[in-house]
Amino acid sequence: MSTATPVLTQIDAHSHLAVDTDWWRGAVIYQIYPRSFQDSNGDGIGDLGGITQRLDYIASLGVDAIWLSPFFTSPMKDFGYDVSDYKDVDPMFGTLADFDDLIEAVHAKGMKVLIDLVISHTSDQHPWFVESRDSRDNPKADWYVWADAKPEGSPPNNWLSIFGGSAWEWDSVRCQYYLHNFLASQPDLNFHNREVQDAVLSAAQFWLDRGVDGFRLDTVNFYFHDAELRDNPPLPEGAQLTGVETTNPYAFQHHLYDKTRPENLQFLERLRQLLDRYPGATSVGEIGSDRDVIATTAAYTENGKRIHMAYSFDLLTPQRSAGFIRETVEGMEKGIGSGWPSWALSNHDVVRVASRWGEGAAQDRFAPLATALLTCLRGTPCLYQGEELGLTEADVPYDKLQDPYGIRFWPKFKGRDGCRTPMPWATDNAHGGFSEAEPWLPVADTHMNRSVARQLDDEHSVLQRTKAFLIWRRGYTALLKGDLTFIDSDPETLVFIRSHEGNKVLCAFNLADIPAEIDVAGLSLFSLNAPGFSGRLDGGKLRLPGLDAYFAKVL
């Protein structure tokens, strides 16, 4: 073992963001759910002005970009994922001027802004759909997926909605069925129509011209459907169902024909051509419930051709063993080719990782460890608001539920409201400093003791440890853009090396609550002072306390 001080490749704060069109590789993206971040006008709902008010806090976390969940004009049947105007801000969240102010303020702090682009479907209140349903021969008649009933009146095929029931809704105006992969009030656009593609690309260009730095692409594999409307076959024999899949028959099908169609690749190339006109603009796609997610991710993120990166739900499941994580990451590494993954442990659609993976664990130790692991994987990490506080899933009673998904499948599946409750900013406020009015969802009592105000003054808090680690991480290019190679280690530990242009950093994580010992006698290591973690090198042994980590320069 060497004790010589190594030469480290370091980068300065946000300086790389201004000059590097590949800034997104390894950048930390902080997801903001606007309804629940900060209310600035006292109506109980978060808004753009509230986000602007909290930018000092966001910048202090050491993140590189923010991703805003939808704020477009919408009837809010699915809380903004049902867009009725792609080129305006819903009054609930503010105005276009408020958005412009936010963009300017974010950029002034050296960060980037990504926004949700929800183009697989619209609201049924969008003018496009209103016109489309009016007749079978109007200019937008073919902008949505319409089909005649079978002779006995049943839907055209067996496709199902993720939110329950048939994916087809009868319309008494056109006397035809229309396709909706989600709510009946979210009709699917017909991407086989070139005019539809042009229209959604125009919406994307509108926001790029206003200064956004890219898009998170909602359900990016849902854009095209099978033009022949063939039935989906049943799930292959032996396929495992987990979590909400066991209560939702959507998971019983093998979704060959209603999504992940080959025509999608050509549209993504058109989208990439638009993005490439804006240097540094990027895109991260959400690949929803795809059974061949690695191949899909590889195709969608082929370097320079389509979208820049994509994430799936592979690490957003209840499975959390070290073996499962290694198998998932190694599978992606082997199969992604020239593409680039994005990783997340929490978002606005799943149970928070502190509950899903950390139930029963000491959250003050588990939460910083989970964030460190997430941000050290090869790829671009997305950190969901509240993860930096160690927030657990909130228990929202049935009479307070807002999520139509949860209401539909209650009580076995409680929906997504538990991860969408408002941010707790203060402890001495009835609504956690989020709003002076009754919030749209209640602030969880269990979150009050994890408020920002309470954690700011405690250097050992989850918040302070997370901030310190993310800022420290920026100093090592290998952790941002390097290759990843796993090293065999004891069960419930993960050890890998990130390598970039001759610089190598070893990362070791103990996911168990008991100490672990790892043999590293074959490596020459120089210990790095990663804040908040106490693993240590002892001769040829690496000693990790429970729920702890260790980082070293590989010489």
pTM given for the model: 0.94
Element of type H or E holding 207? helix 194-209
Confidence of residue 291 (pLDDT cuts 50, 70, 90): confident
Q: What's the rounded mean pLDDT across residues 3-23?
A: 50
Confidence of residue 289 (pLDDT cuts 50, 70, 90): confident
* pLDDT value for 13: 39
Q: What is the mean pLDDT of the chain?
A: 94
Amino acid occupying residue 486? F
Residues 164, 167, 171, 175, CA torsion sign = negative
* pLDDT value for 66: 98
Task: Kindly tell me if the per-residue pLDDT of 12 is higher than 50.
Answer: no
Quick: pLDDT tens for 153-182.
999 999 999 999 999 999 999 999 999 999
Q: Cβ(432)–Cβ(426) under 8 Å? A: yes
Q: What's the rounded mean pLDDT across residues 114-133?
A: 98
Active site residues: 218, 286
Rg (CA), the chain: 24
Quick: pLDDT tens for 68-105.
999 999 999 999 999 999 999 999 999 999 999 999 99
Cα–Cα distance for residue pair 490/519, rounded to 1 Å: 9
Query: From the CB of residue 41, how many other CB atoms can be counted at a distance below 10 Å?
Result: 16
Q: Cβ(8)–Cβ(475) under 8 Å? A: yes
Structural domains of the chain, ranges and CATH numbers in brackets: 15-123+194-223+266-473 (3.20.20.80), 483-554 (2.60.40.1180)
Beta-carbon contacts of 459 under 8 Å, excluding residues fewer than 6 positions away, are none
The Cα-based distances of 30 to 21, 163, 384 in angstroms read 19, 27, 6
Q: Cβ(426)–Cβ(433) under 8 Å? A: yes
What are the beta bridge partners of residue 32?
68
Confidence of residue 64 (pLDDT cuts 50, 70, 90): very high
Quick: pLDDT tens for 199-255.
999 999 999 999 999 999 999 999 999 999 999 999 888 777 766 677 889 989 999
Angle at alpha carbon of residue 245, lines to 244 and 247, rounded to 5°: 70
Q: Tell me which residue of 47, 112, 61, 46 sits closest to 455, measured CA to CA.
A: 61
Quick: pLDDT tens for 14-58.
444 455 899 999 999 999 999 999 999 999 999 999 999 999 999
For 1, counting Cβ atoms within 10 Å of its Cβ (0-12 exposed, 13-18 middle, 19+ buried), the class is middle
Which residue's structure tokens are 């979150």? 447
Q: Tell me which residue of 185, 181, 187, 510 sits closest to 321, measured CA to CA.
A: 510
Element of type H or E holding 176? strand 176-179
Amino acid occupying residue 270? R
